[in-house]
Amino acid sequence: MKRLAVGTSAFPGCSSMPVAGAVRAGERVYLSAGNALQADGTVKGLGDPAAQTHAALDSLEASLKAAGGTLANLTKLTTCIVDRGYRADVYRVITERIPNVRPVSTGLVVAGLGLPELIVQIDAEAAIPANPVKHTRPYTFESWHGQGFPWYGAMVTASDDEFFVRGQTGAGLDHSGTAAKGRRVADAGAQADLAMQNLAQLLGEAGSSLDDVCKITVYISDRAYRAGVYPMIGKHFGDTRPVSTGIVTTGFARPDVLFEIDVVVIPKHDGKPHKRLRPYHSSAAKYGTETQPLDCKFCMVAVAGDRILLRGQTGMGLDEKLYGAGDAKAQAEQAMDNVETLLGEAGASIDDVAKATVYVTESDFLPAVNAAVLKRFGKSAPAFTTLVVKGLASPELLMEVDIVAIRKDARS
């Protein structure tokens, strides 16, 4: 694993701490999110979504170059904007910069980014495989949602070692639009049901299955939708037990979308199932101070070859107690204690972390939370991303951190 384009962070609260623009492990490249924040703390393109999109792609391009790649190696884009009205400007720039690359994509409207001046951020995934990537259900829209510019995409992009999947919503695979357009809990559940059907079908067409899913990130636009969404996820995954992160976000590409799911899909090695450590049932787990009646089977750690993916960690201790009530920094400290324990159980350490993603529920929490997370890595600079979100699984949770690590002793 190589840490590339390492520099001191410009993120709030951690200006003296090292962050990698890219971390390469085999074909896979983990990237810090691209945005208009410069190394000196200034922001390019103030108030201009197109200019900030160019700046974000410039940042990603520089990091990929350090890793031996180009923007053509992008496999997935998670585009975060603070206002849905910016979509046309943002996606017009993306299609100009990466024509015919066809990365899969997820589009979110978020509560905020690292600084109030930031209005666009792109969290990208990339691979530099020995063989050309394969696209499942590639598509071209000459006028993307009637906005006057083309868009080139795919439902699944497969490299040698991973399947990258477009974020799935309650929309038909024939691009016919969103089902269940009400805003009831039952509508969110219906959208989740269709999204999971779509996911299973797409993975089958690409040569994979739900059994290969190691991690899910679930986005909903209202915490109340958890009661409708998670039983559908549990129904489709059965005993697969992925690790999970749950985010309440401000919105999606269209107002009628209530739910979106992202997945990490890694093929089995030699046909052997991935290891799922610390299995649990969601209905028996505490979120904040209470349990929630959600019929899903998850685990805390998924191990796929040399890769380790953790459930999103919060101020909930591994003993099911909430630490740091009302204190985002204390919750971040507990979350990182959990991370170190779980990595150790999987045969890794904090030095093996390739990517860390921090979510907070208030922008004011970012400096203290970023500092608490990044100081644990010392000189082992990870790729890093931060987002301000509408909420997490319970109101008591103020932060969450996602972790991906690469075990040194497991690499072939």
DSSP label of 379: T
Please tell me the predicted confidence (pLDDT) of residue 271. Answer: 81
pLDDT bin (cut points 50, 70, 90) of residue 145 is: low
Q: Which tokens hold the place of 114?
A: 């690292």
Q: What is the pLDDT of residues 215-225, one digit of tens each?
A: 999 999 999 99
User: What average pLDDT score do residues 112-139 get?
Assistant: 96
Residues 98-113, mean pLDDT to the nearest whole number: 95
Sequence-distant (6+) residues with CB within 8 A of 161 are: 26, 27, 28, 127, 129, 266, 267
What are 338-373's pLDDT values in tens digits? 999 999 999 999 999 999 999 999 999 999 999 999
Separation of alpha carbons 213 and 267, rounded Å: 8
Positive or negative, the CA dihedral 212, 218, 219, 222 is positive
Enumerate the H helices of 185-276 as residue ranges: 185-206, 226-237
* pLDDT at 411 > cutoff 60: no
pLDDT in tens, 231-253: 999 999 999 999 999 999 999 99
Statement: residue 41 has pLDDT above 90: no
Mean pLDDT of the region 261-278: 93
Structure tokens at 267: 């093929």
- DSSP at 243: E
Give pLDDT, residue 290. 84
Q: Residue 13 has what pLDDT?
A: 67
- The secondary structure of residue 263, as a DSSP letter, is E
Using DSSP's 3-state secondary structure scheme, residue 387 falls into strand
- Judged on CB neighbours under 10 Å (0-12, 13-18, 19+), 158 is buried
| Residue 412's pLDDT band (cuts 50, 70, 90) | very low
Q: pLDDT exceeding 70 applies to what percent of the chain?
A: 97
Of the two residues 345 and 5, the one the predictor is more confident about is 345
- Average pLDDT on 379-398 reads 95
Give 7 or 342, the one with higher predicted confidence.
342
The alpha carbon dihedral of 31, 33, 36, 42 has a sign of: negative
CA distance 181 to 35: 33
- Yes or no: say if 195 and 260 are a contact pair by the CB < 8 Å rule: yes
Under the banding of pLDDT at 50, 70 and 90, the label for residue 11 is confident
Q: Would you state the pLDDT for residue 150?
A: 79
Q: What is the mean pLDDT of the chain?
A: 93
Cα separation, 365 vs 327, in Å, equals: 9
Contact residues for 4 (Cβ-Cβ < 8 A; gap 6+): 20, 21, 22, 23, 24, 63, 66, 67
Instruction: Quote the pLDDT of residue 140.
Output: 87
Question: Residue 39: what pLDDT?
Answer: 82
| 307-310 vs 383-388, strand pairing mode | unpaired
Neighbours of 135 (CB within 10 A): 18
Structure tokens at 34: 């691209």
pLDDT (mean) for 180-193: 94
- CA distances to 4, 170, 193, 239, 303 from 310, rounded to whole Å, are 23, 26, 25, 18, 9
- How confident is the model at residue 144, as a pLDDT? 67
200 touches 210 (CB < 8 A): yes
